[in-house]
Every structure is written in structure tokens, then in C-alpha cells.
Structure 1
């Protein structure tokens, strides 16, 4: 079988000794990556993994991820990126809903994950690092033969789980399946999106974004396409990030606003210690970016490097604000990509004119028609013309630039991570003393937003905030747990009994430039 251009196999054949990935003191060349991927693919196949299987990667940012990603591609399997912080019950739901049968994790205690497999047809569980009964060690997979060499047809289909307003996570399968003939519109759209990443051959990429979101895998695969090395950072630390930029001559980095805020909080003498002149392209996204923070980034890293992207898992990337427009269109998320249509609508679904705020509906060449193993989307989510309701509120100005002002859905974004109140509320309602609960996002200078809960107790019941917060520890991943909780006599509701979260939010967001 012929080797795909710009693939790991291609670089292994043409530039075998060039470094592909760096993590801490670990280095991996293209030939080592391809050899390891062949071994792992044969090791997985010997243990019953076959084409079409969904392989779950529940790992932090680490050098084993690209090995596994390539092995999964060689076996014609799909890759499901799963947040390593999810509890066993949250993990079990995703495994059950997706039908995945293979799980790879790097948990410190893999045994704690075993309850997630109960009652499910999991045929193989692999642990990177810690040994545990019932888990095959990743090192054992690497002991398989690398022969015969296997060839992938490109990156594996990617499955990511997102939550809707119901709070139950839903699987989104990337529309771009390897080997599928792509129509011209989709191809042009993807080329336009790729151009905004501003990667060039000879560059060096720094990866600090998790691999269970679209941006992380996209950055890894984009660097492979260019034959560029990627420096991987397992846990983000602001000074260590500057050190890596200076040490490796990093040219491209994508971060969430929280990461940039942490950099900006460093003392000036620390910032001045590191040479960041190698940076050619910085990207920021996944959460609203305060204008003052953008100005700090431009002052620190220079003009002409900062770009901002806006997208959603269900529709792909939507818009991009290039470096030259950052100060001309402050607060904007940019103009739509090629073949992306934006429709601003009122609550009745009528199109609104320019400069009027309403719900944002999006149509792209990769908009999903249904969630994984779900029914076709209803008209309230995806209309007959293929527009998807993303759940944000915003407007288009006279020049066609998009401005996002609020969220129609209740989603909270903390440190670039989407958190869904409905899921948190469902967990808190299991507490025996809680009658009703409302979860909102309140301002947080470091993370953008933090989770706050308001609880109404059942008549005659008594408990305190600490007891409910302790209860949350058993039912919610750490990043979803409320940071603060207030017990109130009565939650605000309208005449129909619907919770009025806006009334809870208002005191916290008063005087802020935007409500997200």
C-alpha cells in the first residue's frame, strides 16, 4: 500500500531522525513514532481489537497519545477522546452510550476505574504507567513486533462528547472520515480553517490544550501534517511554558484565556528572563477573551501574532479574527470561514438585521445531523436549511464581524472547559435534603467563570453548605463541583414555575462588559 504524503509513515521514511514529539526529557523521532505505532497496533490486534472498534483514550497530554492515535489509524478504528477527570459513573455513561469496547487510561489508580466497566462489553483495558489487575500494561503492547509495517489512511475518526441542555453528554463524530471523498465546499472550508492556524514547515508547536477537546488532537495532527515537532506540556505552568518557548524556539501556541492570564500575572522580572521572540502565531479561544488581556498579549509577544477562533464541536470552526483586526474590532470573534453561514434570530426564529442581538444559528459543511447513536436532530436544534443552534447570543456588525454577547444555553466556561449546569444540578438533586437547585457561572478573574450553586431545602430538612459540597465530591469531577454554594429560602421562578437564573446571575455580572 502506498504511503500517504505528510503522514507519520512519510516522515519516518524521509526524515527518520528528526524529532517529532518532546515531553519533558523524552524525545521521539518520526521513525521511533512509526515503529512504536506499528508495535502497539499489532499488540492491540493480538488482543482482539479489530477495524471499526471505538478505542477510548482517557489520558493527559503525553507522548503516548500520538503513538496510540497512529496505531488506531493503522487499525482503521475510531478514537474517542475522554476527559481523564471524569468519575467512574460519568465514564460508564460515555462507554455505554458510545458502544466503545477498548479503553486506554493513564489513571494513577486504574483499579478505581473498574466500576465504569461493569455490565459493559469491554474487551480490553490498557494502563499507561500504573499496573493493575484486569489492565494490560501499555509497555506490553510495545513488545509486539513492528512487522509487517501497517499503513494508515489518515487520522482516525475522532469522537468527542459534549453536553446539551439536558446535561447528558452526547457523542459527536467528526464528519471527516479517512478515505471518504470530500466535496469541494468541505475541502475549501477545511483549507480556510487550516490557514488560520498559521503553521509553516519548520515551525515548532507547543501543546497545552487537553486531548479530549477538538483543539488538542487538531494541533497534534496539524503539526504532523507539516512535519513539525510538538512540545507537549502535561500540566500547564506559566513560567515553565515560557521556558519551553525559549528552549525549543516555539513558533506556534494555542491557549485558553486562563493560561494567558496566568502568564500576565507573572512578575515582570520573570517575564523578562525568557526570550519569546521565536513566536510567530498565538491563538486564543474556547472562552471570551477580555480586551485588556488581548492588549497585554500584543504588548508582550508583539503585533501580528495573535488570532482568535470561535467554533463548536457540532459545527466545527465558525469564525476567526486575524492579528491585524484585534485592535480594530475589539470584542469581535471575527468573520466566518469560507462556506460558513451565520444567522442571527429572535426567539420566534425570525432572522434579525445587522447590529441586532439574537440567538446564533450556524451552517458549515461539517455540521452534524445527529449525535452518536442518537435520532436525527429536531428543528429546534438543526433546521431544514441545515442551520445549527449553537446556544450563544450575539450580533453581526455592518462589516460581517461576529460579536458574542451572552449565552442562550446555560453553559459555564471555566478555563476554556465547557461545564453544563443541568448535569451538576442533577447530581445535587440526589442529596436527600435538597428540594431544588440552580447552578450558574459567576465571574472568576483567573478562570473566566466559576461554578456557584443555590439550593432550596425540602421543608423540615436541615443541612449545611459544607455537607452538600462534600456530597458533590462523590458524584462530580473536580472541575464541575461548585466552588461556592448558598442555601436560600426560595429560588426565583416565573409564574410558570421556571427558574429565573438571570436574577441569580445579575448581582455578580453587574457592570461587566459582557455576560459570559
Structure 2
């Protein structure tokens, strides 16, 4: 029976001394990698029940990947927590998901030390995972401030692996290079897909354009790069000073709309690469793909690949081409539900899923995004609910009202900015509020700017007028 990671021992038997994983200066052969995964498998089998929840709170991306695959191979659910979360948020999530086991940096180190001492891995007699078994819980922003925990089963990712191989033309000899931390689902998927399919995987402990370019240039084999458009922007800037990087054969981008000028710059930096942009959501995996050879219309996020169906408006009565409405998706890649939290924008209907995005299809089946039925902002590939940041600002005793919006940004896709009305006069209010937010929000959710208003504009119904504030912030940015 196929499951995520079921072929790892086959690769170790066939190529025991070949490199499987690199992270900074550390390297694992296939045999060493399988042994490291086996040590964690032994731990989770003895400490948890089949189907049990294992929380992973690890700064080291290689340790996270090893533990993730151990959970997948033992029919446990790997819940990937972000070490950058504030303490209060981490506590809320752990309380909501109730893990049987928490593996952090200290406990992982103890597991590795014990494995070296024993030099053996035992195994309980348990059945292998099946495709319907859940194995991964990722987290994405929730409107209440507590992240939503979305659940994936083996089958949904196995289908995604097949789609990746078919659509992106990745060779068996290619290396997979990840531009960022594995707490971002794009990079985690790329790393797991790479190892599960027998590729060498290269992780970066932190995003550093120069080091990443060195990884892409070295290693001999051609490289496939997974990155967000924001990372690619900075990578192109660094590469323009160092010259073209020819060993890159594919660049796979997701997490925000890829700006046309950045795509053009990157084509010069990686002259041999096929550039792919794919659009999707945590709940859907792939929805559309746009390749460099496809000549997608400007502004489009591509067309759905084989096996993925899209309708606009309502599955029972779709709207005509060119008319905007809710995006509904049907495929074998969809998520299984939320382990914690919920989203009223996420709804099922006869096997179709909608999740809050709106758009339209042109006559050739290309998808164009027109907005979101909720207020979610995508900044640097991160999904952010402005209500979460507003709640933090409003919790400050001197703040009377707050609005957070996303302004168009050529690097980040959208830029977080806040408009605040103070209830009590406060010296250097912007600095005070930024410091306040830093202790309560992850770095990616901090407003890039906080503007203080004497009176925030209101709608006729007495609510903050988001459209007027957006125009005001855009105007102020334009004259500063």
C-alpha cells in the first residue's frame, strides 16, 4: 500500500552512500537518513498510539523533515508548529490540538543521542498507513487569532506528487532546493515530495540569497527551486550582481502573485530554467498552474491541470465565462477538514470545495483572481487575517480603533499597514504600538507601518470605513 515515504528504504538499499539531504554544512546519505528517521519512528511508536498527534516544534529544518517523515511512515499525524509564534499563541494551539507527544529541539537531541548509544532501532508490529489515513496538520491564519489546523491524508499528497512529476517535468537526477523554512507549506511540500520521489534535497537553515545561489550553482546535478515570489525577487537582485545561474532547470513559485517584471528578471538570472507559477490554498493544494511556455494572459494565475476541476459561482449553476464569483474546486488533492479552528468561508457542496477566494474564468479556461470574500491578506507568501492584528492593536489600553489592510507591494505581493485612532494621547505612538505588536505577533504579521489618525473614517452604519482608509493610506504612502 502506498503512503508518503514508503519508498525511502528502497532508495537506501539501492543507493546507500549517495547524498539524500543537505542542510547547511550537514549531509545525510540515504542510509544515514533512513536510520535517523527510524530512530524517531521508534520513539513515536512507543510514545503514541496509531493515528496519534505529534507536535513538532523545531528550528532546525532537517530535524523537522526527519520527524515529519517518521510520523508519516508510522501512521501518526505530524503537527508542524512555527517556533516564531508568540508564547500565548503556541499555548492556545497546543491546548486546541492536544498532542500525545511534543518533539522540540531538546527532546529531538535526546532521541538522536539514544539512537547512537543503542545503535539499533526496534519496531512494533503495526500496520502500514493507508491512503485515507491523516498524516499532516499544518496551520494557517484564523480570523480569531488562533491558527486553523488543516488536515491532510496520505492520498491527497500522493496525488500531488504525481501531478508535480507530470506537470513540472522534474528529472529523476534533479536536486530539489528549498528557499526557506519548512514551516511554510510550500517548502515543506517540496522537501517531502523530493525525498519521497528519491531526489537529493537541499535545505537552507535561513533565507540568504547569496548562500542559496551557491547551493544552486554547486552540487553538479541540475536544480529545481521552490520559492515564494518575494524570495525570488531578492534572489534575482543578488544574482544580477553575480551573473546567471545555469544549473537551475525549474523554478516553482507560489504563495502570492508573481509580478511580471520579477518573472522577466528571473528568466535572465536562470536562462535554462522553466518558470512555473502555481495557485492554490492550504485546503486545496494545486488549483492552477502557469508555465513559462504556456503564454498565459497577463494577470492570470494559469489553468487547472488534468484531474482538477474549477467552477465559478455555484457548482450546480456556474456563471458564464468572464463573470466573477466564488471559486469552487473538485480534485483528489483536497484537505480532510480542520483539526482546530474553522472558517465560515470554507464550505463543501457535493464534493466541491470553496474557501473564500473569488475570480473568473476566461473563454480559454484561464483563471483570474478578483479578490477574497473575506479580508485575508497574502504578504510574502503568508496568509494573514487583518482581524488578528487589529485585535492585538485594540488590546493596547491607549487604542480606540484600528484597521489593518494590505496595500499592493511589488516585493511582498501585499504590504501590511495599520491605521489607528488613539483613545489617549501617546508620545511616539507608532513606535510604542510596533513594540507592543512585536511581543504578541509573529514577525510576518507585523505591520510595516502604523499611521495615527485623529478620527478614523466611519461608514453610514458606524463601522470603520475600510475603503476610505485604504485610499488614505495609499495617498499618504505616495507623498512620503
Q: If the TM-score is normalised by the length of the shorter chain, which range does it land in?
A: 0.7 to 0.9
Instruction: Give CA-to-partner distance per residue, 1:360-408, whole Å, 9 cap, x none.
Output: 2333334346421568x76x53143343333233221110001123333
Q: Which whole-Å CA distance do the structure 1 matches of 2:273 and 2:362 have between them?
A: 23
For the structure 1 residues 331 and 424, does the alpha-carbon distance in structure 2 shift closer, same or farther, using more than 3 Å as the test?
same
1:359·1:392 contact (CA, 8 Å) conserved in 2? Answer: yes
Question: Does structure 1 residue 311 correspond to structure 2 residue 280?
Answer: yes
Q: Which whole-Å CA distance do the structure 1 matches of 2:15 and 2:271 have between them?
A: 33
Secondary structure of residue in 1 paired with 2:298: coil
Question: Does structure 1 residue 148 correspond to structure 2 residue 109?
Answer: no
1:168 deviates by 3.1
- The CA RMSD over aligned residues, in Å, is 3.2
* 1:222 aligned partner: 193
Q: TM-score, normalised by structure 1?
A: 0.82
Question: Does structure 1 residue 279 correspond to structure 2 residue 248?
Answer: yes
1:74 deviates by 4.1
Secondary structure of residue in 1 paired with 2:258: coil
Secondary structure of residue in 2 paired with 1:219: helix
* 2:478 aligned partner: none
Q: TM-score, normalised by structure 2?
A: 0.87
1:267 deviates by 6.7
* 1:489 aligned partner: 454
1:126 deviates by 2.1
1:211 deviates by 1.7
2:187·2:227 contact (CA, 8 Å) conserved in 1? Answer: no
1:165·1:410 contact (CA, 8 Å) conserved in 2? Answer: no
Instruction: Decide which of 132, 137, 156 is 1:159's aligned counterpart.
Output: 137
2:249·2:272 contact (CA, 8 Å) conserved in 1? Answer: no
User: Gapped runs of 5+ residues in structure 1?
Assistant: 107-124, 129-135, 511-516
1:333 deviates by 1.0
Q: Which whole-Å CA distance do the structure 2 matches of 1:489 and 1:394 have between them?
A: 37
For the structure 1 residues 137 and 205, does the alpha-carbon distance in structure 2 shift closer, same or farther, using more than 3 Å as the test?
same
Q: Which whole-Å CA distance do the structure 1 matches of 2:32 and 2:336 have between them?
A: 39
Which stretch shows the higher mean deviation, 136-145 or 158-167?
136-145
Instruction: Give CA-to-partner distance per residue, 1:267-321, whole Å, 9 cap, x none.
Output: 744225xxx2222211111101111111112232236610111111112211111
Q: Which whole-Å CA distance do the structure 2 matches of 1:495 and 1:28 have between them?
A: 63
* 2:15 aligned partner: 15
Question: Does structure 1 residue 36 correspond to structure 2 residue 15?
Answer: no
For the structure 1 residues 172 and 144, does the alpha-carbon distance in structure 2 shift closer, same or farther, using more than 3 Å as the test?
farther
Q: Which whole-Å CA distance do the structure 2 matches of 1:251 and 1:20 have between them?
A: 14
2:6·2:73 contact (CA, 8 Å) conserved in 1? Answer: no
1:61·1:211 contact (CA, 8 Å) conserved in 2? Answer: no
Q: Which whole-Å CA distance do the structure 2 matches of 1:143 and 1:421 have between them?
A: 49
Q: Which whole-Å CA distance do the structure 1 matches of 2:142 and 2:211 have between them?
A: 36
1:61 deviates by 5.2
Q: Which whole-Å CA distance do the structure 2 matches of 1:6 and 1:187 have between them?
A: 11
Secondary structure of residue in 1 paired with 2:214: helix
Instruction: Give CA-to-partner distance per residue, 1:88-111, whole Å, 9 cap, x none.
Output: 1111111111111322234xxxxx
* 2:291 aligned partner: 322
For the structure 1 residues 251 and 173, does the alpha-carbon distance in structure 2 shift closer, same or farther, using more than 3 Å as the test?
same
* 1:387 aligned partner: 352
2:4·2:196 contact (CA, 8 Å) conserved in 1? Answer: no
Instruction: Give CA-to-partner distance per residue, 1:236-272, whole Å, 9 cap, x none.
Output: 1112111111111342111111111112223744225
For the structure 1 residues 100 and 395, does the alpha-carbon distance in structure 2 shift closer, same or farther, using more than 3 Å as the test?
same
1:360·1:394 contact (CA, 8 Å) conserved in 2? Answer: yes
* 1:423 aligned partner: 388
Q: How many residues align?
A: 469
Instruction: Give CA-to-partner distance per residue, 1:115-152, whole Å, 9 cap, x none.
Output: xxxxxxxxxx7255xxxxxxx57534554442335796
For the structure 1 residues 264 and 369, does the alpha-carbon distance in structure 2 shift closer, same or farther, using more than 3 Å as the test?
closer
1:411 deviates by 1.9
Question: Does structure 1 residue 261 correspond to structure 2 residue 239?
Answer: no
Give the 5 Å matches for 1:23-422: 23-45=23-45, 48-60=47-59, 62-106=61-105, 126=107, 128=109, 138-140=112-114, 143-148=117-122, 153=129, 157-176=135-154, 191-248=162-219, 249-266=221-238, 268-272=240-244, 276-302=245-271, 305-325=274-294, 327-345=295-313, 351-368=318-335, 370-372=337-339, 381-422=346-387
Which stretch shows the higher mean deviation, 496-505 or 137-146?
137-146
2:239·2:269 contact (CA, 8 Å) conserved in 1? Answer: no
For the structure 1 residues 233 and 188, does the alpha-carbon distance in structure 2 shift closer, same or farther, using more than 3 Å as the test?
closer
1:281·1:307 contact (CA, 8 Å) conserved in 2? Answer: yes
